[in-house]
Structure 1
Amino acid sequence: MKNHKTLLIVGLLLIPQMLLVRWFASFPQLVEQYYSNGLYPIISKASRYAFGWLPFSFGDIMYAVLIVLGLREIVLLIKNKFRGFKTFLLKTLAIVSIVYGAFNVLWGMNYNRLPLHESLGIDNEYTTEELVELTKKLIINSNSLHNQLAEDENSRVVYCDNTEGKNACLQEIFTGTINGYETLKTQFPKLSYPPKSIKNSLLRYPLSIMGYSGYLNPITNEAQVNGMVPAHRWPVISSHEQAHQLGFAKENEANFIAVMATLNNEDLYFQYSGSIFALRYALNDVYSRDKELGEDLKARLNPGILVNYQDSRDFWDAMDNPLEPLFDLFYSNYLKANNQPGGLKSYSYMVALLVNYDQRFPNTF
């Protein structure tokens, strides 16, 4: 009985936690100053020192163990004909309360920081003309990089086509990502990354089925890359997840930081990965406004770039499954619950950041 009372108290703490997080969300300047640029960098570095040296993902193992234990509890509950159901509910509520608290203290409060365009002092609106100008720049840059990396203009850019050496290639990417952030630090002094804590996820196939290229474990602060996705995507995914580690929780902002980190990397492969990633978003935005103009701009691309795009589509098409709409719905609602009201559509904010950053610093792309 005493145990039930303890579980209930811990579980009910979820309510004041949620109210407190909601209150903090009303003061993004405070979150920016005291959490994102105050407490969080200390937590983040400590976590990366604690888990970054491990050659495997401690967070993935933790998730796997929790899933197995959770399934075991459910099986036992059914086997015992739902005797002890009250205890099961109290345990579940207590665990949710603890996880919610840990999530927000260790990383999640970053969702409530100042919008990145405000921190950078740029606008978040743009015209079609400004969008087209950016897209043309990205096309020129992407074609130039493709010409240097591919056999000819019709061929895909290939990196690490040796299946057995994939992990070694990924380790090179992870090291190269840090180099990109060191270069980017001249523009964004707060982007000091070391120590490294990024890994090839142990849960690659489940991630692929769910449609994820990578993720950040908010508890252990380990960045995970899905090594099953086409290799031309690795640099920008790695940079994206490391942006999350640095406190840019929102997907669109992490995308922008990832593009900047790859374009400022000395490695041409990184630059190509980031450039065609940004270009895809820009082209999609053009298409949504003027399909004919979108087709005209697409025709200016080297055919080999389209082959790389097709590689990505083919990979995700092969992973299609009946549960995918549920995963999308869950993740979209997760984004909405964490200060991204547009859900999955909020990813387009990255284009606004790119356009306006390019307006302020014209030589970026």
Structure 2
Amino acid sequence: MITRPLFTKSITLVALAILIYIFGLFPALVQKHYSAGFYPYISSGLRFVSSIFPFAIGDIVYAVLIGFVFYRIVSFFKKRKALKREHRIIVPLQVLNFFLILYIIFKIVWGLNYSRPSVSEELGIGNEKYSVKELVLLGDYFVNKTNDLKLKQTKIPTYSINDLEINSAKAYDLMEKKNPLFRYSNPCLKAVLNSWLISKVGIEGYYAPLTGEAN
């Protein structure tokens, strides 16, 4: 009796997750009803709310989630001897529900974009196969081009977060005039809370899907 509501919740979440997964198998539908339909509104809303705060809300959300998972794991091992037989069903269902909720939220606020038609398809860019030799030549070209620009540079420009937000918004506005695919409302650019750690692991920047922030 104790597990019935929990079991019902699990069935509901599994069914919803399956429906979302099946929906993602149809790129044209995802593009029409999600990427060009529902998603622009929810992402704009998330960025609007996140922009109210001067710090990266996404980093805090991830820290809380990691802390919650760690806390539940420690609590489980502390209480494992006192667990009853019914908890052999309850605990796995709770774990399943937790990850199903994360999966569903992620898919709704961002993840379904992975199922839309590719950008190359949307922009009409060819998807030809290239040989290793051609890719090496392209890499050499960009290396030489970068080195050439570096030699011409007399001063290293510095940009504040505010400068980056303004310039990136201008860039999106410029691209939107060429293609509505790049429409971007309520820009929200934040500095990460721990730039030293992020730099050490080799990450230059990332998008926080749960809050709509560009970090």
**Which among 157, 160, 174 is matched to residue 169 of structure 1?**
160
TM-score by length of 1: 0.51
Cα distance in 1, alignment partners of residues 60 and 143 from structure 2: 41
**Contact 1:56-1:199 within 8 A present in 2 as well:** yes
Are 2:205 and 1:218 equivalent residues in the alignment? no
Matches within 5 A, 1:98-109: 98-109=101-112
Alignment-derived partner of residue 24 in structure 2 = 25
Alignment-derived partner of residue 198 in structure 1 = 189
Amino acid at match of 1:108: G
Structure 1 residues 206 and 171 mapped into 2: Cα distance closer, same or farther (>3 Å)? same
Can you give the 5+ residue segments of structure 1 that lack an aligned partner in the other structure? Answer: 152-157, 161-167, 225-365
Cα distance in 2, alignment partners of residues 219 and 10 from structure 1: 22
> Cα distance, 1:204 vs. partner?
3.6
> Cα distance, 1:127 vs. partner?
4.3
TM-score by length of 2: 0.81
Amino acid at match of 1:118: E
1:88-144: CA deviation from partner (whole Å, max 9, x where unpaired): 333222111111111111111111000122111221114458657755764565355
Are 2:49 and 1:50 equivalent residues in the alignment? yes
Structure 1 residues 77 and 135 mapped into 2: Cα distance closer, same or farther (>3 Å)? closer
Can you give the 5+ residue segments of structure 2 that lack an aligned partner in the other structure? Answer: none
Structure 1 residues 45 and 82 mapped into 2: Cα distance closer, same or farther (>3 Å)? farther
> Cα distance, 1:36 vs. partner?
0.5
Alignment-derived partner of residue 35 in structure 2 = 36
Are 2:153 and 1:149 equivalent residues in the alignment? yes
Are 2:210 and 1:187 equivalent residues in the alignment? no
Q: SS in structure 1 opposite 2:190?
A: strand
- Kindly tell me the number of residue pairs found equivalent between the two proteins: 210
1:223-246: CA deviation from partner (whole Å, max 9, x where unpaired): 22xxxxxxxxxxxxxxxxxxxxxx
Cα distance in 1, alignment partners of residues 106 and 7 from structure 2: 20
Cα distance in 2, alignment partners of residues 89 and 60 from structure 1: 28
Report which structure shows greater RCO (CA 8 Å, sep ≥6): 2
Are 2:78 and 1:79 equivalent residues in the alignment? yes
Structure 1 residues 66 and 137 mapped into 2: Cα distance closer, same or farther (>3 Å)? closer
* Percentage of identical aligned residues: 31
Alignment-derived partner of residue 93 in structure 1 = 96
